[in-house]
Chain A
Amino acid sequence: GENVEQHPSTLSVQEGDSAVIKCTYSDSASNYFPWYKQELGKRPQLIIDIRSNVGEKKDQRIAVTLNKTAKHFSLHITETQPEDSAVYFCAASTGGGYQKVTFGTGTKLQVIP
């Protein structure tokens, strides 16, 4: 089955700096890669996603890149703000009959004012 590894597990950055979280996946059939943000005490919510036919996607201060050959994808947050502090999860999903969504282990991001 699919295995998603995520690094680092914790990340501290100064406000205004950039943050990068990296994930690798094992199943070459995976074709959809969402990122979720979970603030303390709240439910995970989708912040950005990328499909396998695209190499990069941006939405304001966040961007995701995908390297299908190497089977890894990354989340980039620029100009970090204290409200970016949260746990971030990457995930991978395949199409087809049974559509499992497999999550990484999470990255706790702390933005220091």
Chain B
Amino acid sequence: DGGITQSPKYLFRKEGQNVTLSCEQNLNHDAMYWYRQDPGQGLRLIYYSQIVNDFQKGDIAEGYSVSREKKESFPLTVTSAQKNPTAFYLCASRTGGWDTEAFFGQGTRLTVV
């Protein structure tokens, strides 16, 4: 189903807890991205990675962390330092080319309870 899988689809977290969102792709894409989607604010970039063991902060990285130990996987950890974590999170991947299509996962809706 598009080759990029996010899990879980829905996630509930208690305040003060860290939580990790999974993103796996079997498209052999080099680049992977995490976006946060809030109503009226579009897709805001959290982190992105061009190659294994390398990643860059996006526009709203505070309170988040990532790792890229394998080409296929780019997990996102939402830490307790993120003050407003309730949102819809989208993972995307694309080949290394500068003008290539980004393929998105189906998203994870995180709710802090």
Residue numbers of A with Cβ under 8 A of B are: 1, 6, 9, 31-32, 34, 36, 42-46, 49, 51, 89, 93-106
A92 CB, min distance to chain B CBs, angstroms: 11
Measuring CB to CB, which residues of chain B are less than 8 angstroms from any residue of chain A? 2, 31, 33, 35, 40-45, 48, 50, 56, 58-59, 90, 92, 94, 96, 98-99, 101-102, 104-107
| A95 to B35 Cα, complex, angstroms | 19
Instruction: List the B residue with the shortest CB-CB distance to A103.
Output: B43
- Residue of A34, A51, A94 with most chain B CB atoms under a 10 A cut-off: A34
* CB pairs A–B below 8 angstroms (22 shown): A9-B40, A34-B102, A36-B102, A43-B2, A43-B105, A44-B90, A93-B98, A93-B99, A95-B98, A97-B50, A98-B50, A99-B31, A99-B50, A100-B48, A101-B33, A101-B48, A102-B59, A103-B42, A103-B44, A103-B45, A105-B42, A106-B42
Residue of A nearest to B31 (CB): A99
- Cβ 8 A contact of A32, one of B44, B56, B98: B98
State the CA gap A95–B90 with chains docked (Å): 22
For A93, the chain B residues whose CB sits under 8 A away are 98-99
The complex places the Cα of A101 from the Cα of B33 at a distance, in Å, of 9
Q: How far is the CA of A43 from the CA of B59 in the complex (A)?
A: 21
CB contacts (< 8 Å) of A97 on chain B: these are: 50
- Neighbouring A residues of B104 by C-beta, 8 Å: 43-45
Task: Other than A32-B98, A34-B101, give 4 A-B pairs with Cβ distance below 8 A.
Answer: A34-B102, A95-B98, A103-B42, A106-B43
